[in-house]
Amino acid sequence: MWGVAGGEGGWTGSSDVSGMAALEHSIQLGCNFFDTAWIYGRGHSEKMLGEALRNHPGKTLYVATKVPPKNREWPSHRGDRLDQIFPPDHIEEYVEKSLQSLGLASLDLLQFHVWEDAWAHDESWIRVVDDLKRQRLIRGIGISVNRWEPTNVLDTLKTGMIDAVQVIYNVFDQAPDDELLPLCRELDIAVIARVPFDEGSLTGNLTIDSTWPAGDWRSSYFVPENLAATVARVESLRRALPADTQLSDVALRFILSNDNVATTIPGMRSIPHVEANMACSDKGKIEPALMTLLRQHRWDREPTAWSQ
């Protein structure tokens, strides 16, 4: 829903008309899980999703949203205090805001939009989560893991409080396979794979000359240092693949072939994108030889000033 909503700090080129058309089409094709956040359009994405939900009262559709950090900084930083980022009254305030925007009485999954594993045993978030579940305002609790920090949540998972983890996982970002995904499988914690196309690079449409309008989030992420390295990696992958291979298809099926992943959340701002993404679900797992090739294109990266 981030790309659908647009707005401050989002993706340019969005429109409510095309976004709603994409949402409607995805539901018609069988999509039943939608990931949003209050910060996506400052409630706008939730309102759009709420409208789509009301248009399909007979369907079982699952909604995941996120509480923004109180200091509005992504990602969180070592040394941040939980009471400054997610104090109880802040969590409760944004649960209420999200419920109002979505027009729901309960959220299927509430996620913390940033996280530090040092907060694992802080009683304040545990108490508020227990209270929200007791009031049936949320059914599950999850964490959206900071970019390229898949181990910065392991102790928190071991508390037994977490139902789902959302983590960057794709052909390049395979580090979650080392520790995070096996632990989630052991603890029966759902894994939501985000950024399946590496912010668009694995669609094959990025070039060294790509630019974005001022204010588009991608212009601050694909800085020259990152853009050049990313395009080089994509070209190396493309050369290694069989000539008739659709890069975006392979990227999505790489994730869907992993039994440790519950679902993935590609953007869907247009009907053609929806149709292409949904079709991948019906194609089955990637054959072993191709999976072995893709494993060779793992790219381990460290968080930096522009990685957000």
The Cα-based distances of 275 to 23, 29, 118, 120, 174 in angstroms read 11, 8, 41, 40, 26
Q: What predicted TM-score, i.e. pTM, was given to this entire model?
A: 0.96
pLDDT (average), residues 137-149: 98
194 close to 265: Cβ distance less than 8 angstroms: yes
39 close to 68: Cβ distance less than 8 angstroms: yes
In words, the CATH class of domain 16-199+245-296 is alpha beta
pLDDT digit string, tens, across residues 166-215: 999 999 999 999 999 999 999 999 999 999 999 999 999 999 999 998 88
pLDDT digit string, tens, across residues 287-300: 999 999 999 999 99
Q: Which residue, chain included where needed, has tokens 């989030």?
A: 217
DSSP annotation of 162: -
pLDDT digit string, tens, across residues 219-265: 999 999 999 999 999 999 999 999 999 999 999 999 999 999 999 99
Sign of the Cα torsion 200, 216, 72, 49 reads negative
The predicted pLDDT at position 98 comes to 98
pLDDT (average), residues 252-279: 94
The predicted pLDDT at position 269 comes to 85
For all residues of the chain together, what is the average pLDDT?
95
